[in-house]
C-alpha cells in the first residue's frame, strides 16, 4: 500500500485523474471499476477536460460501478446510474453499452447480484478499481460487519451511512435503506486499486484501514492484503497518520 499526500482536493483530483488516465492509455479497452459519492467528482471533471482537449479516449473503455441503491431506477436523480451519466459518461466518448451499474429495480435482487458478478468475470476482471471510503471504513457499500462478504450482495445501510448520504436527498426518510454492492472479492480481485480520501471526517477510517488490524469491522482494512493499492489523501484525511510517529513517515510527500 502506498500513501500519497495531496495538498488539497484539487491536487487529489488531478493525481487521481492522472492515474486513471494512465490506465486508459496503457490499455485502451481497460475495465475501470468506478465509484460515486463526492470524492471522485473532481477526478471525473479533470478527465472530462482532458477528453475534450483530445488527450483521453474512452471509446474502448469498459466500466463497472461499485454499487446502486435498491429501489431507485437509473433515471432517479439520486441513483448511482444517474450520477455516473451526469458526472462522467455523458461528457466523454464512452459507449454506454459498455458501462455497468447494478440494477436497483431488479425484481430478484439475488439474481441481479449473481448476474453482476458474471458481468465482471466475463469482462476478464477489473484493471483499476477506484474507491472512496466511508467515515466508518466502508468501501462500496460493504458496511462494517462480522464477515467480509465476497460476492455482489444486498446490504442494509447503516444509520451512519444513511445520515451521511442524506445530504443528497431532501430528507433522511428518502434515503434508501438497502443497496446492491460489489463484494470484497470483486474489489480485491482488481489488478490495481486507487483509494481516495478527503476531509477530516475520513481521518480515522484512513488510519484504521491502512495501519489497523485487518477486520471486517473496518471493511477497507482488507486492502492491506492487496499487492497494488494507491491511497491518495489530503492533509485533513491524513491527520491521524501524521500524528502517529510510527506511521507518519510512510507517506509519500510532494
For the annotated catalytic residues, the residue numbers are: 67, 136, 138, 143
**What does DSSP say about strands 2-6 and 192-197: parallel, antiparallel, or unpaired?**
unpaired
**Alpha-carbon torsion, ordered 117, 46, 221, 247, to 10 deg:** 160
Q: Measured from the CB atom, is 60 or 204 closer to ligand F6R?
A: 204
The minimum distance between CB 201 and ligand F6R, in angstroms, equals 8
Residue nearest to ligand F6R (CB): 132
Q: Measured from the CB atom, is 58 or 141 closer to ligand F6R?
A: 141
Q: Measured from the CB atom, is 57 or 168 closer to ligand F6R?
A: 168
Q: Measured from the CB atom, is 36 or 63 closer to ligand F6R?
A: 36
Residue 71's region, left for phi above 0, alpha for psi from -120 to 50, else beta, is: left
Binding mask 3-42 for ligand F6R (x = CB under 6 A): --------------------------------xxxxx---
- Measured distance CA(155)–CA(40) in Å, rounded: 22
Which position among 20, 44, 46, 67 is part of the footprint of ligand F6R (CB under 6 A)? 67
Q: Pick the stretch among 2-10, 135-143, 210-218, 241-249 that binds ligand F6R (CB under 6 A).
A: 135-143
Q: Which positions from 138 through 177 interact with ligand F6R, judged by CB under 6 A?
A: 138-141
84: Cβ–Cβ under 8 A, 6 or more apart, which residues? 34, 36, 63, 65, 99, 101
Q: Which three cell numbers stand for residue 109?
A: 435482487
- Residue 134 lies near ligand F6R (rule: CB under 6 A): yes
The string of DSSP letters for 98-167 reads: GEE---TT-SSHHHHHHHHHHHHHHTTS-SEEEE---TT--BTTB-S-SS---SSEEEEPPHHHHHHHGG
- Residue 99 lies near ligand F6R (rule: CB under 6 A): no
42: Cβ–Cβ under 8 A, 6 or more apart, which residues? 9, 10, 12, 13, 14, 16, 17
- Residue 81 lies near ligand F6R (rule: CB under 6 A): no
Which position among 42, 104, 132, 183 is part of the footprint of ligand F6R (CB under 6 A)? 132
Q: List residues near ligand F6R by CB under 6 A.
A: 35-39, 66-67, 132-134, 138-141
Amino acid at each position: 500500500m502506498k500513501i500519497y499526500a495531496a495538498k488539497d482536493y484539487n491536487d487529489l483530483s488531478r493525481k487521481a485523474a492522472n492515474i486513471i488516465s494512465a490506465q486508459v492509455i496503457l490499455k485502451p479497452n481497460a475495465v475501470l471499476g468506478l465509484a460515486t459519492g463526492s470524492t471522485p467528482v473532481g477526478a471525473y471533471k479533470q478527465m472530462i477536460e482532458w477528453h475534450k482537449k483530445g488527450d483521453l479516449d474512452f471509446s474502448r473503455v469498459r466500466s463497472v460501478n461499485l454499487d446502486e441503491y435498491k429501489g431507485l431506477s437509473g433515471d432517479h436523480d439520486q441513483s448511482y446510474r444517474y450520477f455516473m451519466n451526469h458526472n462522467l459518461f455523458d461528457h466523454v466518448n464512452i459507449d454506454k453499452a459498455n458501462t455497468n451499474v447494478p440494477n436497483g429495480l431488479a425484481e430478484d435482487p439475488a439474481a441481479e447480484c449473481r448476474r453482476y458478478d458474471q458481468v465482471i468475470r466475463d469482462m476478464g476482471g477489473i484493471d483499476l478499481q477506484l474507491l472512496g471510503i466511508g467515515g466508518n471504513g466502508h468501501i462500496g457499500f460493504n458496511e462494517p460487519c462480522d464477515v467480509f462478504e465476497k460476492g455482489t450482495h444486498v446490504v442494509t445501510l447503516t444509520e451512519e451511512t444513511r445520515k451521511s448520504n442524506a445530504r443528497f436527498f431532501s430528507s433522511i426518510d428518502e434515503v434508501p435503506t438497502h443497496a446492491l454492492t460489489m463484494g470484497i472479492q470483486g474489489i480485491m480481485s482488481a489488478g490495481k486499486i486507487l483509494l481516495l480520501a478527503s476531509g477530516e471526517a475520513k481521518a480515522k477510517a484512513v488510519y484504521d484501514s491502512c495501519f489497523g488490524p485487518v477486520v471486517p469491522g473496518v471493511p477497507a482494512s482488507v486492502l492491506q492484503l492487496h499487492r497494488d493499492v494507491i491511497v491518495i489523501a489530503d492533509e485533513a484525511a491524513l491527520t491521524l497518520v501524521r500524528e502517529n510517529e510510527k506511521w507518519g513517515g510512510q507517506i509519500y510527500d510532494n
